[in-house]
Structure 1
Amino acid sequence: MMTMLLLFFGTMALSLYASWKVRSAYNRYSQVPASSGYTGAEVAQRILDLNGIRDVSIHSTHGHLTDHYDPSNRRLVLSEENYHGTSVAALGIAAHECGHAIQHQQLYAPLKWRMAAVGITGIASQIVMWVPLIGLFGGFFPYKLAITIMAVSFGILMLFQLVTLPVEFDATARAKKVLAGTGAVAAGTEFKAMSKVLDAAALTYVAAFVSTLGYFLYYLLQMTGMRGNDE
């Protein structure tokens, strides 16, 4: 029980730190205007055009840091502050999402794997939320079966987060390269500020992987320990 509590609070602290880091960097550098004067939407359209991507539409949405690329509907969605914003943070995030669109166009393998795993990952997410409630505490599942289900489910989530890492790191690398190449973000102070925002955002994916890895190893050890006792 103590191990589970330490794991829970440890991963929660890591996630909160990663979230604080990206929000802190964004809030700071969203106040730094890019000398090019481009908005996030304009930079996104320019990047898509340069890469010959004609079937991806750009949209704005409500919320803070709700930016994402929707491969199923070929939509690049930017939060209103980044869609209309001209800061180095807004341009960096817009370019990062364009990186995913370019990955999709080029059939980037890790992105294809992540897209293929979305369905089973969604099921695994529901399982790890409900099994402890209806199984371990409600007695619906035998304890050994519940532990095995949790180990397998967290294994799926861990692999999904593992595949997500190269997808996000590659999109960030593409964003930095294209923004420097097009001059949308000036070299020096502007580029460094933009890089800090994207690097902080990458930390959230590292935290998610470490968290799921920790829970997977915990339940795996529980499962193997039960087998050892049976023998």
Structure 2
Amino acid sequence: MIPLLVLGAIILVAAGVPGLWVRRVMGRYRTPGDRYRMTGAELARDLLRRLELPHVEVEQTTQGDHYDPLRRRIGLSRENYEGRSLTAVTVAAHEVGHAVQDAIGYRPLHWRTRMVRWATAGQRVGAGLLLGLPLILAVSRSPALLLPAAALGVAGLATGVLVHLVTLPTEFDASFRRAMPLLEAGYLHPEDRPHARRILQAAALTYVAAAAMSLLNVWLWLRLLRP
């Protein structure tokens, strides 16, 4: 019992600390709000023009900052789309980094895109199986069916953890091999370079928090299903 509780506490901390740090870093460099002459959206479009990627569009979104390789679009939150802060321009450059990966055929990005499709389906099926365990028992009247159904359900949820972990190398590549050199090519104030690196690191580590949250969800279900 105690080792399981300790494990749960470790997972809970691992899920919360990276997320808090990411929000702190992003928030810290949102001021001053007029640090740069270009907004995040303007910088992204300027980079795409220079990189000869005119087919990639930039739009404001409520779904978080991301690059959609299927639609060839960069989505920026309102504060990063309209903002002129260091956070806004750095996050915009990070998403342009993903567009560059897509354009050059960076395989880990394409692997992640394919994995997200089946992982999303797997998580939905897994959640459905776990939530439907009482119904499965009522209909089948066979407790023996509960164990394989529960195992499949937990495995479905666990696909989310795998996707987030596979995503990490792609995020660090977009941050430090793509975005940082672009920003250093005349876009950043020299004194902002170390701060931009922190923001890019935070952008990549967002998926560490997401992976930890997925792992916590799996652990909670395992605890709930434990005899």
For Structure 1 versus Structure 2, the TM-score category normalised by the shorter chain is 0.7 to 0.9
1:22 aligns with 2:22: yes
Partner of residue 38, structure 2: 38
Judged with a 3 Å threshold, the aligned counterparts in structure 2 of structure 1 residues 146 and 6 are, in CA distance, closer, same or farther, namely farther
Q: Percent identity?
A: 33
Q: How is 1:48-87 mapped onto 2 (pairs within 5 angstroms)?
A: 48-62=48-62, 66-87=64-85
Q: 2:217 and 2:18 mapped to 1: Cα distance? A: 18
1:47 aligns with 2:50: no
Q: 2:218 and 2:48 mapped to 1: Cα distance? A: 39
Q: Cα distance, 1:72 vs. partner?
A: 1.5
Q: Cα distance, 1:115 vs. partner?
A: 1.0
Partner of residue 170, structure 1: 173
> Are the equivalent residues in 1 in contact too, given 2:39–2:88 (CA < 8 A)?
yes
Secondary structure, aligned partner of 2:167: helix
Partner of residue 102, structure 2: 104
Unaligned residue ranges in structure 2 (runs of 5+):
223-227
How does the TM-score come out when normalised to structure 1? 0.80
How does the TM-score come out when normalised to structure 2? 0.81
Secondary structure, aligned partner of 2:74: strand
> Are the equivalent residues in 2 in contact too, given 1:35–1:186 (CA < 8 A)?
no
Q: 1:211 and 1:22 mapped to 2: Cα distance? A: 14
Partner of residue 228, structure 1: none
Q: 2:147 and 2:3 mapped to 1: Cα distance? A: 18
Q: Cα distance, 1:36 vs. partner?
A: 4.5
Judged with a 3 Å threshold, the aligned counterparts in structure 2 of structure 1 residues 36 and 27 are, in CA distance, closer, same or farther, namely closer
Judged with a 3 Å threshold, the aligned counterparts in structure 2 of structure 1 residues 134 and 4 are, in CA distance, closer, same or farther, namely farther
Unaligned residue ranges in structure 1 (runs of 5+):
221-231
Q: 1:131 and 1:7 mapped to 2: Cα distance? A: 25
Please report the RMSD computed on the Cα atoms of aligned residues, expressed in angstroms.
Answer: 3.4
Q: Cα distance, 1:70 vs. partner?
A: 1.5
Question: How many residue pairs align between the two structures?
Answer: 221
Partner of residue 111, structure 2: 113
Residues 138-170 of structure 1 show CA distances to partners (whole Å, capped at 9, x for unaligned) of: 636723203431453245333312221111111
> Are the equivalent residues in 1 in contact too, given 2:133–2:150 (CA < 8 A)?
no
Residues 164-207 of structure 1 show CA distances to partners (whole Å, capped at 9, x for unaligned) of: 111111111111111012x211222x122222222123222123
Q: Cα distance, 1:216 vs. partner?
A: 6.9
Aligned partner letter, 1:20: L
95-104 or 203-212, larger mean C-alpha shift:
203-212
Q: 1:179 and 1:172 mapped to 2: Cα distance? A: 10
Q: 2:15 and 2:67 mapped to 1: Cα distance? A: 22
Judged with a 3 Å threshold, the aligned counterparts in structure 2 of structure 1 residues 217 and 79 are, in CA distance, closer, same or farther, namely closer
